[in-house]
Amino acid sequence: MPQDYDLFVSSQSDTPAGAFDKLLLIVGVVAAAALILAVFGIASGGGGDSGEAAPQTISWELSEFSIDGPAQISSAPTSFQVVNVGGQIHNLVIEETGQSSPDLAGGESAVMNVGDLQPGTYTIFCSIAGHREAGMETQLVVSSSAGSTGGGEGHGGHSGENVDWEALDQAMMDSMLAFPAETEGLGNQPLEPRILPDGTKEFELEVAIVPWEVEPGVFVDAWAYNGQVPGPMIRVDVGDKVRVLVDNQLPMGTDIHWHGIATPNNMDGVAPLTQDLIKSGESFVYEFTTRKPAIGMYHAHHHAQMQVTNGLFGAFIIGDTPVPRGMTVSGVEIPADLTIDHEIPMILNDAGVIGLSLNGKSFPATQPYVGKVGDWVVVHYYNEGLQIHPMHQHQFPQLVFAKDGIPLDQPYWSDTVNVAPGERYSVLLQLEDPGVWVWHCHILTHVERDEGMFGMVTAWIVEEA
Protein backbone atom coordinates (compact mmCIF):
# COMPACT_ATOMS: atom_id res chain seq x y z
CA MET A 1 0.00 0.00 0.00
CA PRO A 2 1.61 3.28 -1.00
CA GLN A 3 2.30 5.75 1.77
CA ASP A 4 0.19 8.66 0.78
CA TYR A 5 0.27 11.01 3.69
CA ASP A 6 1.50 14.04 1.79
CA LEU A 7 -1.56 13.83 -0.33
CA PHE A 8 -3.70 13.12 2.69
CA VAL A 9 -2.49 16.12 4.60
CA SER A 10 -2.66 18.50 1.66
CA SER A 11 -6.09 17.34 0.67
CA GLN A 12 -7.21 18.21 4.15
CA SER A 13 -5.95 21.74 4.08
CA ASP A 14 -6.77 23.01 0.63
CA THR A 15 -10.36 23.27 -0.26
CA PRO A 16 -10.71 24.09 -3.94
CA ALA A 17 -12.69 27.01 -5.16
CA GLY A 18 -16.13 25.82 -6.05
CA ALA A 19 -16.48 23.51 -3.09
CA PHE A 20 -18.86 25.92 -1.46
CA ASP A 21 -20.97 26.12 -4.58
CA LYS A 22 -21.30 22.37 -4.44
CA LEU A 23 -22.16 22.56 -0.78
CA LEU A 24 -24.88 25.05 -1.62
CA LEU A 25 -26.31 22.54 -4.04
CA ILE A 26 -26.70 19.81 -1.44
CA VAL A 27 -27.89 22.31 1.07
CA GLY A 28 -30.77 23.04 -1.29
CA VAL A 29 -31.76 19.41 -1.27
CA VAL A 30 -31.38 19.16 2.46
CA ALA A 31 -33.46 22.29 2.96
CA ALA A 32 -36.27 20.69 0.99
CA ALA A 33 -36.05 17.62 3.18
CA ALA A 34 -36.05 19.74 6.33
CA LEU A 35 -39.16 21.52 5.13
CA ILE A 36 -40.92 18.22 4.58
CA LEU A 37 -39.92 17.09 8.05
CA ALA A 38 -41.14 20.33 9.55
CA VAL A 39 -44.50 19.91 7.84
CA PHE A 40 -44.82 16.39 9.15
CA GLY A 41 -43.74 17.58 12.58
CA ILE A 42 -46.53 20.12 12.65
CA ALA A 43 -49.02 17.63 11.33
CA SER A 44 -48.21 15.10 14.02
CA GLY A 45 -47.53 17.51 16.83
CA GLY A 46 -51.13 17.94 17.90
CA GLY A 47 -51.82 21.32 19.40
CA GLY A 48 -55.06 22.18 17.65
CA ASP A 49 -57.06 25.19 18.79
CA SER A 50 -60.02 23.19 20.05
CA GLY A 51 -59.39 24.18 23.65
CA GLU A 52 -58.78 20.65 24.89
CA ALA A 53 -55.08 20.28 25.57
CA ALA A 54 -53.59 17.77 23.17
CA PRO A 55 -50.99 15.31 24.39
CA GLN A 56 -47.47 16.63 23.96
CA THR A 57 -43.98 15.20 23.82
CA ILE A 58 -41.23 17.35 25.25
CA SER A 59 -37.59 16.70 24.27
CA TRP A 60 -34.76 16.90 26.75
CA GLU A 61 -31.08 16.57 26.00
CA LEU A 62 -28.65 15.53 28.72
CA SER A 63 -24.94 16.22 28.37
CA GLU A 64 -21.87 17.22 30.39
CA PHE A 65 -23.12 19.16 32.25
CA SER A 66 -26.41 20.62 31.20
CA ILE A 67 -30.03 19.76 30.67
CA ASP A 68 -31.46 21.33 27.55
CA GLY A 69 -35.17 21.61 27.03
CA PRO A 70 -37.93 24.19 26.97
CA ALA A 71 -38.21 26.83 29.68
CA GLN A 72 -41.98 26.74 29.51
CA ILE A 73 -44.71 24.38 28.38
CA SER A 74 -48.44 24.35 28.72
CA SER A 75 -50.34 21.98 30.98
CA ALA A 76 -51.38 18.91 29.03
CA PRO A 77 -50.89 15.14 29.07
CA THR A 78 -47.14 15.08 28.67
CA SER A 79 -44.37 12.67 27.76
CA PHE A 80 -40.71 13.48 28.10
CA GLN A 81 -38.41 12.20 25.37
CA VAL A 82 -35.06 12.13 27.16
CA VAL A 83 -31.88 11.72 25.12
CA ASN A 84 -28.38 11.49 26.54
CA VAL A 85 -26.20 13.21 23.95
CA GLY A 86 -23.21 13.21 26.28
CA GLY A 87 -20.65 10.57 27.06
CA GLN A 88 -21.32 9.87 30.71
CA ILE A 89 -24.34 8.22 32.35
CA HIS A 90 -27.15 10.67 33.13
CA ASN A 91 -30.79 10.68 34.13
CA LEU A 92 -33.62 13.16 34.44
CA VAL A 93 -35.59 13.66 37.66
CA ILE A 94 -38.53 15.98 38.35
CA GLU A 95 -37.92 17.09 41.92
CA GLU A 96 -41.50 18.01 42.81
CA THR A 97 -43.09 14.78 41.56
CA GLY A 98 -40.19 12.38 42.12
CA GLN A 99 -40.60 11.01 38.62
CA SER A 100 -37.34 9.80 37.09
CA SER A 101 -36.02 8.43 33.84
CA PRO A 102 -33.80 5.35 33.95
CA ASP A 103 -30.05 5.92 33.99
CA LEU A 104 -29.05 6.46 30.36
CA ALA A 105 -25.64 5.78 28.85
CA GLY A 106 -24.39 8.15 26.19
CA GLY A 107 -26.57 7.90 23.08
CA GLU A 108 -29.43 6.18 24.86
CA SER A 109 -32.89 7.62 25.17
CA ALA A 110 -36.08 6.92 27.07
CA VAL A 111 -39.66 8.12 27.11
CA MET A 112 -41.14 9.18 30.46
CA ASN A 113 -44.87 9.47 30.71
CA VAL A 114 -45.20 12.28 33.25
CA GLY A 115 -48.96 12.72 32.97
CA ASP A 116 -50.74 16.02 33.21
CA LEU A 117 -48.35 18.35 35.03
CA GLN A 118 -50.24 21.01 36.96
CA PRO A 119 -49.32 24.65 36.38
CA GLY A 120 -46.33 25.68 38.44
CA THR A 121 -42.57 25.71 38.42
CA TYR A 122 -40.69 22.42 38.41
CA THR A 123 -37.05 21.67 38.98
CA ILE A 124 -35.48 19.21 36.56
CA PHE A 125 -32.10 17.69 37.43
CA CYS A 126 -29.77 14.72 37.01
CA SER A 127 -29.38 12.66 40.19
CA ILE A 128 -26.01 11.09 39.32
CA ALA A 129 -23.63 12.15 42.09
CA GLY A 130 -22.12 15.57 41.42
CA HIS A 131 -23.94 16.20 38.17
CA ARG A 132 -26.60 18.55 39.56
CA GLU A 133 -23.89 20.65 41.20
CA ALA A 134 -21.96 20.68 37.92
CA GLY A 135 -24.86 22.32 36.10
CA MET A 136 -27.42 19.63 35.32
CA GLU A 137 -30.36 21.48 36.80
CA THR A 138 -32.99 23.61 35.12
CA GLN A 139 -36.44 25.06 35.77
CA LEU A 140 -39.57 24.21 33.83
CA VAL A 141 -42.59 26.49 34.02
CA VAL A 142 -45.88 24.76 33.29
CA SER A 143 -48.57 27.25 32.39
CA SER A 144 -52.28 26.61 32.19
CA SER A 145 -53.23 25.34 28.75
CA ALA A 146 -55.47 28.35 28.08
CA GLY A 147 -52.64 30.81 28.36
CA SER A 148 -50.01 28.94 26.49
CA THR A 149 -49.18 31.41 23.80
CA GLY A 150 -45.97 32.48 25.48
CA GLY A 151 -42.83 30.47 25.67
CA GLY A 152 -41.35 29.77 22.31
CA GLU A 153 -37.90 30.20 23.74
CA GLY A 154 -37.47 26.60 24.57
CA HIS A 155 -35.71 24.88 21.71
CA GLY A 156 -36.24 21.28 22.70
CA GLY A 157 -39.99 21.18 23.08
CA HIS A 158 -41.09 20.40 19.55
CA SER A 159 -44.65 20.10 20.74
CA GLY A 160 -46.00 21.85 17.69
CA GLU A 161 -47.25 24.89 19.58
CA ASN A 162 -44.34 26.84 20.91
CA VAL A 163 -41.63 25.73 18.55
CA ASP A 164 -39.96 28.09 16.15
CA TRP A 165 -39.72 25.76 13.17
CA GLU A 166 -38.13 28.40 10.99
CA ALA A 167 -35.37 28.86 13.55
CA LEU A 168 -34.75 25.13 13.53
CA ASP A 169 -34.49 25.19 9.74
CA GLN A 170 -32.14 28.13 9.87
CA ALA A 171 -29.94 26.60 12.56
CA MET A 172 -29.43 23.50 10.46
CA MET A 173 -28.66 25.47 7.29
CA ASP A 174 -26.25 27.76 9.10
CA SER A 175 -24.43 24.90 10.81
CA MET A 176 -23.98 23.05 7.52
CA LEU A 177 -22.79 26.10 5.62
CA ALA A 178 -20.14 26.62 8.29
CA PHE A 179 -18.35 23.52 6.92
CA PRO A 180 -15.45 23.26 6.49
CA ALA A 181 -14.50 25.43 9.47
CA GLU A 182 -10.88 26.06 10.26
CA THR A 183 -9.76 25.27 13.76
CA GLU A 184 -6.41 25.10 15.48
CA GLY A 185 -4.69 21.75 15.65
CA LEU A 186 -4.68 18.66 13.47
CA GLY A 187 -4.24 15.13 14.75
CA ASN A 188 -2.95 11.97 13.07
CA GLN A 189 0.15 13.66 11.73
CA PRO A 190 2.89 11.21 10.76
CA LEU A 191 5.57 10.92 13.43
CA GLU A 192 9.08 10.59 12.06
CA PRO A 193 11.37 8.21 13.93
CA ARG A 194 14.95 8.77 14.92
CA ILE A 195 16.96 5.92 13.35
CA LEU A 196 19.46 4.52 15.86
CA PRO A 197 22.81 2.98 14.77
CA ASP A 198 21.37 -0.55 14.91
CA GLY A 199 18.40 0.48 12.76
CA THR A 200 15.94 0.77 15.66
CA LYS A 201 13.17 3.29 14.98
CA GLU A 202 12.80 5.51 18.02
CA PHE A 203 9.72 7.65 18.60
CA GLU A 204 9.00 10.16 21.35
CA LEU A 205 5.59 10.70 22.88
CA GLU A 206 4.97 13.45 25.40
CA VAL A 207 1.72 12.96 27.25
CA ALA A 208 0.14 16.16 28.55
CA ILE A 209 -3.06 18.14 28.89
CA VAL A 210 -3.35 20.75 26.15
CA PRO A 211 -6.03 23.12 24.89
CA TRP A 212 -7.75 21.55 21.89
CA GLU A 213 -10.24 23.23 19.57
CA VAL A 214 -12.88 20.53 19.15
CA GLU A 215 -15.31 22.73 17.26
CA PRO A 216 -14.94 26.33 16.14
CA GLY A 217 -14.21 28.45 19.19
CA VAL A 218 -14.70 25.58 21.64
CA PHE A 219 -11.48 24.63 23.42
CA VAL A 220 -11.32 21.69 25.78
CA ASP A 221 -8.54 20.40 28.03
CA ALA A 222 -7.56 17.44 25.88
CA TRP A 223 -5.28 14.67 27.09
CA ALA A 224 -2.90 14.42 24.18
CA TYR A 225 0.16 12.71 22.77
CA ASN A 226 2.52 15.39 21.39
CA GLY A 227 -0.28 17.96 21.57
CA GLN A 228 -2.47 16.19 19.00
CA VAL A 229 -5.85 14.44 19.06
CA PRO A 230 -5.65 11.78 17.75
CA GLY A 231 -2.00 11.36 18.69
CA PRO A 232 0.57 11.30 15.90
CA MET A 233 0.33 8.41 13.47
CA ILE A 234 3.15 5.91 13.81
CA ARG A 235 4.00 3.80 10.77
CA VAL A 236 6.70 1.13 10.70
CA ASP A 237 7.58 -1.97 8.67
CA VAL A 238 7.32 -5.64 9.57
CA GLY A 239 10.48 -6.71 11.39
CA ASP A 240 11.34 -3.22 12.62
CA LYS A 241 12.79 -2.75 16.08
CA VAL A 242 10.64 -0.07 17.66
CA ARG A 243 11.44 2.08 20.71
CA VAL A 244 8.87 4.50 22.06
CA LEU A 245 10.00 6.97 24.73
CA VAL A 246 7.05 8.07 26.83
CA ASP A 247 7.31 11.24 28.92
CA ASN A 248 4.34 11.59 31.26
CA GLN A 249 3.46 15.21 31.96
CA LEU A 250 -0.08 14.38 33.06
CA PRO A 251 -1.13 15.11 36.64
CA MET A 252 -1.58 11.34 37.16
CA GLY A 253 -0.10 8.04 36.05
CA THR A 254 -0.51 6.50 32.62
CA ASP A 255 0.64 3.63 30.38
CA ILE A 256 0.31 2.75 26.69
CA HIS A 257 -1.27 -0.39 25.29
CA TRP A 258 -0.46 -1.41 21.70
CA HIS A 259 -3.89 -2.56 20.60
CA GLY A 260 -3.82 -5.18 17.85
CA ILE A 261 -0.02 -5.39 17.91
CA ALA A 262 1.96 -8.37 19.19
CA THR A 263 4.53 -7.42 21.84
CA PRO A 264 6.45 -9.14 24.62
CA ASN A 265 4.25 -9.40 27.69
CA ASN A 266 6.18 -6.75 29.61
CA MET A 267 5.51 -4.29 26.79
CA ASP A 268 1.72 -4.78 26.73
CA GLY A 269 1.13 -1.60 28.70
CA VAL A 270 -1.16 -2.77 31.48
CA ALA A 271 0.06 -1.36 34.79
CA PRO A 272 0.54 -2.91 37.31
CA LEU A 273 0.28 -6.36 35.71
CA THR A 274 2.94 -6.02 33.02
CA GLN A 275 4.83 -2.90 34.11
CA ASP A 276 4.86 -0.22 36.79
CA LEU A 277 2.54 2.70 36.35
CA ILE A 278 4.30 5.59 34.62
CA LYS A 279 3.68 8.12 37.36
CA SER A 280 3.24 11.84 36.81
CA GLY A 281 6.59 13.30 35.79
CA GLU A 282 8.11 9.89 35.01
CA SER A 283 9.08 8.30 31.73
CA PHE A 284 9.10 4.80 30.29
CA VAL A 285 10.55 3.09 27.23
CA TYR A 286 8.53 0.60 25.22
CA GLU A 287 10.58 -1.71 22.99
CA PHE A 288 9.41 -4.44 20.67
CA THR A 289 10.07 -5.91 17.25
CA THR A 290 7.11 -5.94 14.90
CA ARG A 291 6.10 -9.37 13.66
CA LYS A 292 3.36 -8.93 11.07
CA PRO A 293 1.26 -6.30 9.32
CA ALA A 294 -1.23 -4.53 11.56
CA ILE A 295 -3.81 -1.78 11.52
CA GLY A 296 -3.21 -1.16 15.19
CA MET A 297 -3.79 1.61 17.63
CA TYR A 298 -2.11 2.84 20.75
CA HIS A 299 -3.90 4.19 23.77
CA ALA A 300 -3.76 4.58 27.52
CA HIS A 301 -4.87 1.54 29.51
CA HIS A 302 -4.91 3.22 32.93
CA HIS A 303 -8.23 4.91 33.71
CA ALA A 304 -8.87 4.48 30.02
CA GLN A 305 -12.53 5.41 30.45
CA MET A 306 -11.21 8.92 31.06
CA GLN A 307 -7.73 9.06 29.50
CA VAL A 308 -8.65 7.53 26.15
CA THR A 309 -11.92 9.37 25.70
CA ASN A 310 -10.18 12.62 26.64
CA GLY A 311 -7.81 12.12 23.71
CA LEU A 312 -5.09 9.55 24.43
CA PHE A 313 -5.39 7.45 21.29
CA GLY A 314 -3.56 7.16 17.98
CA ALA A 315 -3.01 4.99 14.90
CA PHE A 316 -0.12 2.54 14.72
CA ILE A 317 0.23 0.88 11.32
CA ILE A 318 2.69 -1.90 10.55
CA GLY A 319 3.60 -2.89 6.98
CA ASP A 320 1.09 -3.37 4.19
CA THR A 321 -2.35 -4.85 4.69
CA PRO A 322 -3.18 -6.12 1.19
CA VAL A 323 -6.04 -4.56 -0.77
CA PRO A 324 -8.02 -7.20 -2.75
CA ARG A 325 -6.64 -6.19 -6.14
CA GLY A 326 -7.89 -8.31 -9.02
CA MET A 327 -10.65 -9.89 -6.93
CA THR A 328 -14.30 -9.95 -8.02
CA VAL A 329 -16.68 -9.25 -5.12
CA SER A 330 -20.45 -9.50 -5.68
CA GLY A 331 -19.88 -9.09 -9.40
CA VAL A 332 -17.67 -6.05 -9.08
CA GLU A 333 -14.11 -6.50 -10.32
CA ILE A 334 -11.43 -4.69 -8.38
CA PRO A 335 -8.72 -3.60 -10.83
CA ALA A 336 -5.51 -5.56 -10.46
CA ASP A 337 -3.44 -2.45 -11.06
CA LEU A 338 -5.29 0.06 -8.91
CA THR A 339 -3.28 2.62 -7.03
CA ILE A 340 -4.50 4.13 -3.80
CA ASP A 341 -4.90 7.87 -4.06
CA HIS A 342 -5.95 8.56 -0.46
CA GLU A 343 -5.36 6.56 2.69
CA ILE A 344 -7.29 7.89 5.67
CA PRO A 345 -7.15 6.73 9.26
CA MET A 346 -10.45 7.83 10.82
CA ILE A 347 -10.60 7.53 14.58
CA LEU A 348 -14.05 7.68 16.15
CA ASN A 349 -14.73 8.98 19.65
CA ASP A 350 -17.91 9.87 21.48
CA ALA A 351 -17.05 10.64 25.09
CA GLY A 352 -14.78 12.50 27.48
CA VAL A 353 -13.90 16.11 26.79
CA ILE A 354 -13.51 15.38 23.07
CA GLY A 355 -17.03 13.97 22.67
CA LEU A 356 -18.67 12.95 19.40
CA SER A 357 -15.92 13.41 16.85
CA LEU A 358 -13.98 12.21 13.81
CA ASN A 359 -10.22 12.45 14.26
CA GLY A 360 -10.62 14.65 17.31
CA LYS A 361 -12.90 17.23 15.67
CA SER A 362 -16.64 17.83 15.69
CA PHE A 363 -18.46 19.03 12.55
CA PRO A 364 -18.03 21.66 11.06
CA ALA A 365 -14.41 21.46 12.26
CA THR A 366 -14.00 17.96 10.81
CA GLN A 367 -11.61 17.75 7.87
CA PRO A 368 -13.17 17.77 4.41
CA TYR A 369 -11.68 15.24 2.00
CA VAL A 370 -10.96 16.36 -1.54
CA GLY A 371 -10.54 13.97 -4.46
CA LYS A 372 -11.11 13.49 -8.16
CA VAL A 373 -13.54 11.25 -10.00
CA GLY A 374 -11.91 7.84 -10.32
CA ASP A 375 -9.71 8.13 -7.23
CA TRP A 376 -9.38 5.05 -5.03
CA VAL A 377 -9.58 5.54 -1.29
CA VAL A 378 -8.65 3.35 1.65
CA VAL A 379 -10.17 4.24 5.01
CA HIS A 380 -9.21 2.63 8.30
CA TYR A 381 -12.01 3.17 10.79
CA TYR A 382 -10.92 2.96 14.42
CA ASN A 383 -13.33 3.16 17.32
CA GLU A 384 -11.75 4.56 20.50
CA GLY A 385 -15.11 5.59 21.99
CA LEU A 386 -17.73 3.91 24.16
CA GLN A 387 -20.47 3.30 21.60
CA ILE A 388 -20.95 1.64 18.23
CA HIS A 389 -20.93 3.91 15.19
CA PRO A 390 -22.45 2.88 11.84
CA MET A 391 -20.31 4.84 9.39
CA HIS A 392 -22.27 5.67 6.28
CA GLN A 393 -20.69 6.93 3.06
CA HIS A 394 -23.12 8.55 0.64
CA GLN A 395 -22.96 7.32 -2.97
CA PHE A 396 -19.80 5.21 -2.86
CA PRO A 397 -20.10 1.63 -1.57
CA GLN A 398 -17.35 0.60 0.80
CA LEU A 399 -15.56 -2.72 0.25
CA VAL A 400 -14.69 -4.03 3.70
CA PHE A 401 -11.43 -5.89 3.14
CA ALA A 402 -9.87 -6.17 6.60
CA LYS A 403 -11.22 -6.48 10.14
CA ASP A 404 -8.87 -5.41 12.95
CA GLY A 405 -6.11 -5.38 10.35
CA ILE A 406 -6.70 -9.02 9.41
CA PRO A 407 -7.42 -9.40 5.68
CA LEU A 408 -10.81 -10.99 4.98
CA ASP A 409 -10.94 -14.05 2.74
CA GLN A 410 -14.32 -12.80 1.60
CA PRO A 411 -14.45 -9.01 1.44
CA TYR A 412 -17.96 -7.56 1.25
CA TRP A 413 -19.63 -4.35 0.09
CA SER A 414 -21.42 -2.18 2.59
CA ASP A 415 -22.70 1.38 2.49
CA THR A 416 -22.82 1.48 6.28
CA VAL A 417 -20.05 -0.09 8.34
CA ASN A 418 -20.74 -0.74 12.03
CA VAL A 419 -17.65 -0.05 14.10
CA ALA A 420 -17.81 -1.15 17.73
CA PRO A 421 -15.42 0.05 20.44
CA GLY A 422 -11.96 -1.44 19.95
CA GLU A 423 -12.66 -2.51 16.37
CA ARG A 424 -10.96 -1.48 13.17
CA TYR A 425 -12.44 -1.88 9.70
CA SER A 426 -10.46 -1.18 6.55
CA VAL A 427 -12.49 -0.31 3.49
CA LEU A 428 -11.78 0.46 -0.16
CA LEU A 429 -13.96 2.75 -2.22
CA GLN A 430 -13.83 4.63 -5.49
CA LEU A 431 -14.97 8.22 -5.94
CA GLU A 432 -17.22 7.59 -8.91
CA ASP A 433 -19.17 10.83 -9.21
CA PRO A 434 -18.46 14.53 -8.74
CA GLY A 435 -20.11 16.61 -6.04
CA VAL A 436 -20.21 16.99 -2.30
CA TRP A 437 -21.00 13.67 -0.66
CA VAL A 438 -21.50 13.58 3.05
CA TRP A 439 -19.99 10.85 5.15
CA HIS A 440 -21.22 10.34 8.69
CA CYS A 441 -22.22 8.16 11.60
CA HIS A 442 -25.82 7.10 11.13
CA ILE A 443 -26.86 7.29 14.77
CA LEU A 444 -28.71 10.52 14.15
CA THR A 445 -28.14 12.03 17.57
CA HIS A 446 -24.40 11.68 16.91
CA VAL A 447 -24.68 14.10 13.98
CA GLU A 448 -27.59 16.46 14.49
CA ARG A 449 -29.08 18.45 17.35
CA ASP A 450 -31.40 21.43 17.63
CA GLU A 451 -28.48 23.78 17.07
CA GLY A 452 -27.77 22.01 13.78
CA MET A 453 -25.27 19.54 12.40
CA PHE A 454 -22.36 18.56 14.65
CA GLY A 455 -20.25 15.63 15.70
CA MET A 456 -19.46 12.70 13.46
CA VAL A 457 -19.90 14.18 9.99
CA THR A 458 -17.55 15.11 7.21
CA ALA A 459 -17.79 15.13 3.42
CA TRP A 460 -15.99 14.21 0.23
CA ILE A 461 -15.62 17.03 -2.25
CA VAL A 462 -15.16 15.18 -5.53
CA GLU A 463 -14.02 17.12 -8.57
CA GLU A 464 -14.18 16.08 -12.20
CA ALA A 465 -11.06 14.18 -13.22
Beta strands 313-318 and 234-236, pairing class = parallel
Contact 411, 400 (CB under 8 A): yes
Minimum distance from CB of 389 to Cu ion (Å)? 3
**Cβ-based nearer residue to Cu ion, 336 or 444:** 444
User: Are β-strands 120-125 and 137-143 bridged in parallel, bridged antiparallel, or unpaired?
Assistant: antiparallel
Query: 286: which strand partners?
Result: 244
CB of 348 to Cu ion, least distance (A): 7
Nearest Cα to Cα of residue 289 among 258, 320, 322, 315: 258
The arrangement of strands across the sheet holding 120-125 comes to 72-74, 137-143, 120-125, 93-94
Smallest distance, Å, CB 260 to Cu ion? 21
Residue number, 227 or 390, with CB nearest to Cu ion: 390
Alpha helices in 298-370 (DSSP H): 304-307
Residue 441's closest CA among 371, 325, 355, 374? Answer: 355
Binding mask 347-386 for Cu ion (x = CB under 5 A): ----------------------------------------
Report the site for Cu ion in 4-33 (rule: CB under 5 A).
Answer: none
Q: What is residue 13's three-state secondary structure?
A: helix
Judged by CB, which is closer to Cu ion: 361, or 446? 446
Under rule CB under 5 A, residue 389 binds Cu ion: yes
The least distance separating Cu ion from the CB of residue 345, rounded to whole angstroms, comes to 17
**H/E element, 168:** helix 165-177
Query: Cα 50–54–59 angle (5° rounding)?
Result: 140
Which amino acid does the sequence have at 9? V
Among 114, 177, 178, 443, binds Cu ion (CB under 5 A): 443
Q: Please tell me the number of Cα atoms within 13 Å of 367 on its side-chain side.
A: 23
CB of 307 to Cu ion, least distance (A): 21
- Which C-beta is closer to Cu ion: that of 225 or that of 363? 363
In this complex, which beta carbon is closest to Cu ion, that of residue 112 or of residue 354? Answer: 354
How far apart are CB 53 and Cu ion at their closest, in Å?
36
Q: Which residues pair with 61 in a beta bridge?
A: 68, 83
Cβ closest to Cu ion, residue 176 vs residue 441: 441
CB of 359 to Cu ion, least distance (A): 14
Report yes or no: 380 and 421 within 8 Å, Cβ to Cβ.
no
Q: Is 417 in the site for Cu ion (CB under 5 A)?
A: no
Nearer to Cu ion, 94 or 348 (CB): 348
Q: Rounded CA gap, 91 and 55, in Å? A: 23
Q: Are 107 and 63 in contact (CB under 8 A)?
A: no
Nearest-approach distance from CB 440 to Cu ion, in angstroms: 8
Residue range at the interface with Cu ion (CB under 5 A); choices 34-42, 257-265, 293-301, 445-453 = 445-453
- Mark the segment that binds Cu ion (CB under 5 A) among 133-141, 228-236, 275-283, 442-450: 442-450
Binding Cu ion (rule: CB under 5 A), the pick from 446, 449, 452, 460 is 446
Smallest distance, Cu ion to C-beta of residue 391, A: 8
- Say how far apart CA 123 and CA 117 lie, in whole Å: 12
Shortest spacing between CB 446 and Cu ion, in angstroms = 3
- As a whole number of angstroms, the distance between CA 314 and CA 345 comes to 9
Interface with Cu ion, residue 173, by CB under 5 A: no
User: Between residues 76 and 441, which has the closer beta carbon with respect to Cu ion?
Assistant: 441
Q: Which CB sits closer to Cu ion, 267 or 344?
A: 344
Looking only at residues 422 through 441 of this chain, which bind Cu ion when binding is defined by CB under 5 A? Answer: 441
- Give the integer Cα–Cα distance in Å for 445 and 156: 13
To the nearest whole angstrom, how small is the minimum distance from the Cβ of residue 22 to Cu ion?
25
Q: What would the DSSP string read from start to end of 51-69?
A: SSPPPEEEEEEEETTEEE-
Q: By C-beta, is 17 or 444 nearer to Cu ion?
A: 444
Closer residue to Cu ion in complex, CB, 117/365: 365
User: Which residues, 6 or more positions from 373, have their beta carbon under 8 angstroms from its beta carbon?
Assistant: 431, 432, 433, 434, 462, 463, 464, 465
The rounded distance, in Å, linking the Cα atoms of 87 and 452 is: 19
3-state SS assignment for residue 376:
strand
Q: Measured from the CB atom, is 163 or 308 closer to Cu ion?
A: 308
Q: How far is the CB of 388 from Cu ion (least distance, A)?
A: 7
Cα Rg, the chain, nearest whole Å: 24
Q: How many residues bind Cu ion (CB under 5 A)?
A: 4
Query: Could you list the residues that contact Cu ion (CB under 5 A)?
Result: 389, 441, 443, 446
